[in-house]
Structure 1
């Protein structure tokens, strides 16, 4: 209100009384609208007269009538009554007798000591909203105005199953669609027909398509276990239409496809269940195919990100860098450091931005280490592949031990930001995780950026000139040593980006690079040394083959088979998929 008054004064000074009255009218309409909306929300939270009467019956001293009232409330399966029943079971439900007025059932909060007296905040028994005093502040009632409504062992035992059902029903009101779907699945397992009205009511108010299907599936699963054959037939048919993946086990039992079970007593229900099982299994084959394609593309993108920097260092410069995996590790640890800085020094609501800043930090950290490696050691070993291999392998061991000394030997926890959590539901049973989609997008951006850098910039032209003919480039005034240093740093920076991306899908530890160095070399050699397009095709191809062979042969044996196929391929075509063209070819 003070802010509104301040605005009104400013408008008076600037535009005169007419504009001020106009603005105040708009503010008044807004306040009226909010008041009407608040009143409607308050009315929506009020209990029906029948529920109010049963709540009032809890005050009685007759234990039998109190038990009847508690069970009657529990049987209503109203999620709004969950707080009341929990308070009754835990001993925080009271009969409040104010100074003026009749006794009322309320929920008491934690007691507050004021001198020798104890006061309790009060909440409405049905809506669990705070009771306010005449000043609009939460009411604190003295203990002498409250009398506990006791629930003996019999009452607690009688309402226990209903409370468990109401817990799931209350989760149907959650703003998170994942929680609502999980609640519907639990309610379907309970198989209580009394839950069907709650599910139907939630279904009518639901807008998320996948959650609506979960509600329909839960209703059909409960009706499928009913007595009426027509209702069972309709439920089984519905499960087949919506491709109820969670119902496949129950449908097989109803169809008599499980050993030792004859199926449903009604032959029409058995036939419909058999048709539903066939339909769902056909749908599952398609979802499995789509999921395999996506997982292959995801793994291929990871392999491509790992191999992209190596394709420059090994493919263009001819350096066998066995420390490439450790450069990826540095990028992953740089991501961890940026995350720690955000947690320690910035507000919690900015945590989701840490990964955006971690990407350039990972690139810079790995590029800096790569630059130091090149100017201090690598440049003295050009043309000596065996010495380069042994030296970079030793550097990898040094970097691993340095990380162990700084961060410890255990893996560190890199948390995904909220915008990379969850996934996109393409269809029932097919979810594309956001972190995997991000890695695919990052791989596309890195490949496009590398191509533009190498083939559309002066720096890229110098790199290609030096790698193709070092002596001629030097004669034309190109500093080959500077180009070598910056080229190696650029390849190392790409490895750092790969490490930052890998931190979102795997463990970050000192041995991170050792898990991927062989795959990186395999992609570069298979695609063709120095060929960017070859690395793209090889990365996606090897990733897809891995995910196709994995379900049938297992992860370890599948990788062995791929390695054998790569060896056989290179024996027939040593130059890889894309050979370098020469004048004599």
Structure 2
């Protein structure tokens, strides 16, 4: 017992001596020189800036919170490699090299990973699939990365990139994002970008606890056509707790819906003009041949088809020149279809003048021959014509209304062809002879005009314009043997409705029928809309058999 008690006293005595010695140790003098590098290494790690590689190496941690911190730290670095590295992380191209526990850029080739340095993109080695794996991220981290990319893009010199970045942040309620948007708002000078930032900030203001702030945001968003605006207002309407706010929300939503209806109607009219321009190109050549020669050419649709196939062949002959091959395809299609048209007139139609039923049946037979010839040469499969880049995309007027460039160019092209043909008929000797023959063939012959030659040239001109219509159609749809069949009936309707042989009547009828079709389609469907238009034309020609703008002259009266 005494022995154990002595051991306890000895231990207490030793503890007492240690306490006294620690208490007598002098304190660090503030004026003394700093400690050695070894003693201060932990503090220096916190103070010295980290390199990109050191920040990326934090992504080896399994914790998603730690990865988020690393992503935010990476995004704050003033380095041109930040955006490519964030995109690489999104695309699973940042990989964890387990051999040395570092992060590298990785490209998988033949079962092996080619590793590249994240800062220089230089190849640093190869590794097998077991030693390397992509950095794992979840949806929350993807949102963080997108937000950080948008923050970087907000300060891009290009206003279009800033506009897209502001749009990407619409609906985001992160405090860091909103603070960045507010800062950018005061610095921004481009009105389009300012409006986009205002939209993002006002949508965020709808979540404010202050009623006045919410009412100001509702008033600012009234009439805004961005899709997120209407969704945000509807969501806020369900949570509105005062009659004043509910009334303001109802008015704002109603105003947005009214503007959407207006622009949807404008979009329908634009598609109607586009359809009308196609009908104009398809029918304008028929108006000339039908008006001058009185020939019902059932092969007119196949002449359109030949123009489309000519466009396809030109692109195949110039595989690396899609951007300007269309400029060669237009005259080529005109010449090919015009040549075939002259052959049809010389070897078929010239023997059937004055016999409309036989002419109709003969040209229908020619159309079948042309279709089968195309099937033999190109096969029955549809062919695709590549649209040039300058005809791709759309001109965005607002989020609910845009004008596609291919249709816009076709409208302009159709009007240009119409004006060129009008000038040819009004200002050239051939045009004078065509108008003379169409008005009174006997008198024109008496004045020395060779009507047979005029017939051949007129038929070739009308056929060539049909080929040009095929070039335009090739930009809107696939090229196939039955392409022309879809437009032959519509072309005859346009010619009859506008007035046989009258170009202005053809122009008016084409755009009128095109817009009418597109306006009726949402209500009645595509098939029923065509039936309604056909019934209208039948009733119309019973009242005005010679169309909207009847041709003048003795031949017309007969």
TM-score by length of 2: 0.77
Post-superposition shift, 1:504? 1.3
Provide the secondary structure at the position in 2 that maps to 1:516: helix
Distance 1:581 1:60 in 2: 86
Q: Identify the residue that residue 56 of structure 1 maps to in structure 2.
A: 54
Q: Is the contact made by 1:529 and 1:575 (CA closer than 8 Å) also made in structure 2?
A: yes
Q: Identify the residue that residue 541 of structure 2 maps to in structure 1.
A: 570
Provide the secondary structure at the position in 1 that maps to 2:50: helix
Deviations along 1:318-347, one digit per CA (max 9) or x if unpaired, are 00001111111111111111122221xx4x
Post-superposition shift, 1:77? 8.9
Q: Is the contact made by 2:437 and 2:451 (CA closer than 8 Å) also made in structure 1?
A: yes
Deviations along 1:454-502, one digit per CA (max 9) or x if unpaired, are 1211111222233344444445443322221111010000111111111
Q: Show the 5 A alignment for 1:71-150.
A: 71-75=68-72, 78=75, 81=82, 83-84=84-85, 86-87=88-89, 92=95, 107-110=104-107, 120-124=115-119, 130=120, 139-141=122-124
Q: Identify the residue that residue 219 of structure 2 maps to in structure 1.
A: 237
Distance 1:466 1:265, change over 3 A: same
Distance 2:384 2:466 in 1: 20
Post-superposition shift, 1:505? 1.8
Q: 1:282 aligns with which of 242, 249, 258?
A: 258
Distance 2:268 2:489 in 1: 23
Distance 1:361 1:211 in 2: 45
Post-superposition shift, 1:391? 0.7
Post-superposition shift, 1:527? 1.1
Q: Show the 5 A alignment for 1:19-38.
A: none
Gaps (5+ residues) in structure 2?
Answer: 1-46
Q: Is the contact made by 2:59 and 2:66 (CA closer than 8 Å) also made in structure 1?
A: no
Distance 2:413 2:393 in 1: 18
Distance 2:478 2:157 in 1: 31
Post-superposition shift, 1:566? 0.7
Q: Show the 5 A alignment for 1:178-217.
A: 187-188=169-170, 192-197=174-179, 213-217=195-199
Matched, 1:309 2:285: yes
Matched, 1:555 2:526: yes
Q: How many aligned residue pairs are there? A: 499
Post-superposition shift, 1:538? 1.2
Provide the secondary structure at the position in 1 that maps to 2:455: helix
Distance 2:114 2:478 in 1: 51
Q: Which stretch of the first structure deviates more once superposed, 264-273 or 295-304?
A: 264-273
Q: Is the contact made by 1:87 and 1:93 (CA closer than 8 Å) also made in structure 2?
A: no
Distance 2:59 2:269 in 1: 67
Distance 2:518 2:552 in 1: 33
Distance 1:517 1:62 in 2: 67
Distance 1:149 1:330, change over 3 A: closer
Q: Identify the residue that residue 248 of structure 1 maps to in structure 2.
A: 230
Matched, 1:333 2:309: yes
Distance 1:180 1:385, change over 3 A: farther
Q: Is the contact made by 1:77 and 1:198 (CA closer than 8 Å) also made in structure 2?
A: no
Provide the secondary structure at the position in 2 that maps to 1:398: helix
Deviations along 1:404-439, one digit per CA (max 9) or x if unpaired, are 222222221112111111222344532222222212
Q: 1:352 aligns with which of 299, 323, 337?
A: 323
Q: Show the 5 A alignment for 1:140-179.
A: 140-141=123-124, 159-163=141-145, 165=147
Q: Which has the greater radius of gyration?
A: 2
Q: Which has the higher contact order (CA 8 A, sep 6+)?
A: 2
Distance 2:414 2:133 in 1: 64
Distance 1:203 1:404, change over 3 A: farther
Q: Is the contact made by 2:301 and 2:484 (CA closer than 8 Å) also made in structure 1?
A: yes
Distance 2:224 2:395 in 1: 19
Post-superposition shift, 1:388? 0.4
Distance 1:486 1:231 in 2: 73
Matched, 1:453 2:424: yes
Gaps (5+ residues) in structure 1?
Answer: 1-48, 98-102, 125-129, 132-138, 256-261
Q: Identify the residue that residue 390 of structure 1 maps to in structure 2.
A: 361
Distance 1:119 1:416, change over 3 A: closer
Distance 2:521 2:411 in 1: 20
Q: CA RMSD in A?
A: 4.0
Distance 1:269 1:559 in 2: 47
Provide the secondary structure at the position in 1 that maps to 2:528: helix
Q: Is the contact made by 2:94 and 2:106 (CA closer than 8 Å) also made in structure 1?
A: no
Post-superposition shift, 1:160? 5.0
Post-superposition shift, 1:235? 3.6
Q: Identify the residue that residue 421 of structure 1 maps to in structure 2.
A: 392
Distance 1:58 1:149 in 2: 15
Q: Is the contact made by 1:213 and 1:242 (CA closer than 8 Å) also made in structure 2?
A: no
Post-superposition shift, 1:542? 1.5
Q: Is the contact made by 1:54 and 1:72 (CA closer than 8 Å) also made in structure 2?
A: no
Post-superposition shift, 1:296? 2.6
Provide the secondary structure at the position in 1 that maps to 2:395: strand
Q: Identify the residue that residue 299 of structure 1 maps to in structure 2.
A: 275
Distance 1:369 1:202, change over 3 A: farther
Provide the secondary structure at the position in 1 that maps to 2:118: strand
